[in-house]
Amino acid sequence: MRSLYATLAAFGLLIISSSAETLSEKYSPYGNLIITPFETAPYPHPERAKGHYYHTNFLSAKEHYSDSTVAMFVPKGFHAGKTIDFLVHFHGWGNNVTRAFDHYHLIEQFSASERNAILIVPQGPYDAQDSFDGKLEDTNGFARFMNEAINVLEKKGVTRHARLGKIILSGHSGGYEVISSILERGGLNDHVREVWLFDALYGRTEKFVNWWFTNDNRTRFIDIYTEHGGTKEETENLMASLKKQAIPFYFAKEPAASTEAITKNKLVFLFTDNSHDVVMQNNNTFLNFLRTSQLSSIHTEPTRSPRLSVK
């Protein structure tokens, strides 16, 4: 006879499965949204096994640090080649995967960009005032995560015997912390070609600078910031330091920034009048960064393994 705990757990998995199917159906006009638990997902993690305090607010492990959901979006027209390119996006505080898709129009913008790549959004701290992203901040945790992503895509029939290609790391708000950890010890810096911070440079600036200086001949760093999002001082201090060292960078006010300049420059700083919570979507900024990125178009035939595509 099942225990009450086992019954509730099974019911919980049923709800998650039903929610994932509903979300996948919602975005099916744009491509294939795969929502599945990962062993290498940020949570659960030992450092949050007993929950976490944000000031006096207690965040329980059950409610905020137990969801191992990872969402992978494969756009229509995607062609699987010998290598697969990815954009991995990290949401900020008080957020979750479902809300991130809905509020920031991630899938709509990703689809409109027509990039031949896969979008991944792992569930970080669930609706929590916390930037810590669990296992993805561990040494080589990101390498293990991306290896599992490749394996899941093979099992789902999206690709076959593909290797990891280019990676773009994108983060909004508190997403900066996990990105900085990945750049420092994630194990895949040979693949990380671009980093995008959406009003997210709150600190750890030296980790972003060290990554860029080590790989500046083939990487791009974009930092877009707002007046009141809390990142203005850190960003402007960084620009002042670069200027003092005679290191060239591009600065402009969005949306008047030159598309050509954003594409060609390796260090890009943009100031926007948009508020913190709409910095990704109000000017289709996520879409614009995608179109100017190193990711290939779905209309460009890649070097192939046996052809697989999303209809």
> Residue 17: what pLDDT?
54
Beta strands in 204-279 (DSSP E): 220-225, 250-253, 267-271
> Residue 15: what pLDDT?
44
Are 1 and 82 in contact, with CB atoms under 8 Å apart?
no
Give per-residue pLDDT as tens, 115-174.
999 999 999 999 999 999 999 999 999 999 999 999 999 999 999 888 999 999 999 999
Rounded Cα–Cα distance for residues 265 and 246 (Å): 15
Kindly state whether residue 212 falls inside one of the protein's structural domains.
Answer: yes
> Residue 22: what pLDDT?
87
pLDDT at 20 over 90: no
Kindly state whether residue 7 falls inside one of the protein's structural domains.
Answer: no
> Residue 19: what pLDDT?
64
Kindly state whether residue 24 falls inside one of the protein's structural domains.
Answer: no
pLDDT at 4 over 70: no
> Residue 11: what pLDDT?
40
User: 295 Cβ partners below 8 Å, 6+ apart?
Assistant: 85, 87, 113, 115, 116, 117, 166, 168
> Residue 303: what pLDDT?
52
pLDDT at 304 over 70: no
For the chain, the domain total comes to 1
Rounded Cα–Cα distance for residues 28 and 25 (Å): 5
Give per-residue pLDDT as tens, 57-85.
999 999 999 999 999 999 999 999 899 99
Kindly state whether residue 22 falls inside one of the protein's structural domains.
Answer: no
Rounded Cα–Cα distance for residues 216 and 208 (Å): 11
User: 123 Cβ partners below 8 Å, 6+ apart?
Assistant: 41, 42, 43, 67, 68, 69, 70, 71, 96, 97
> Residue 307: what pLDDT?
40
> Residue 210: what pLDDT?
96
At 230, the amino acid letter reads: G
Kindly state whether residue 4 falls inside one of the protein's structural domains.
Answer: no
* pLDDT band of 282, cuts 50, 70, 90: very high
* pLDDT band of 302, cuts 50, 70, 90: low
Kindly state whether residue 21 falls inside one of the protein's structural domains.
Answer: no
Give per-residue pLDDT as tens, 21-47.
789 999 999 999 999 999 999 999 999
Residues 223-257 as b/e (b if ≥16 CB within 10 A, e otherwise) read bbbbeebebeebbeebeeebeeeeeeebbeebeeb
Kindly state whether residue 248 falls inside one of the protein's structural domains.
Answer: yes
> Residue 300: what pLDDT?
82
Are 204 and 180 in contact, with CB atoms under 8 Å apart?
yes
Give per-residue pLDDT as tens, 97-116.
999 999 999 999 999 999 99
> Residue 308: what pLDDT?
43
Domain extent, residue 84, equals: 34-309
Give per-residue pLDDT as tens, 194-243.
999 999 999 999 999 999 999 877 899 999 999 999 999 999 999 999 99
Contacts 24+ apart (CB under 8 A), 48-51: 48/125, 48/132, 48/134
Kindly state whether residue 147 falls inside one of the protein's structural domains.
Answer: yes
CATH number at residue 296: 3.40.50.1820
* pLDDT band of 276, cuts 50, 70, 90: very high
* Cα distances (Å, whole numbers) of residue 78 to 30, 55, 149: 11, 45, 16
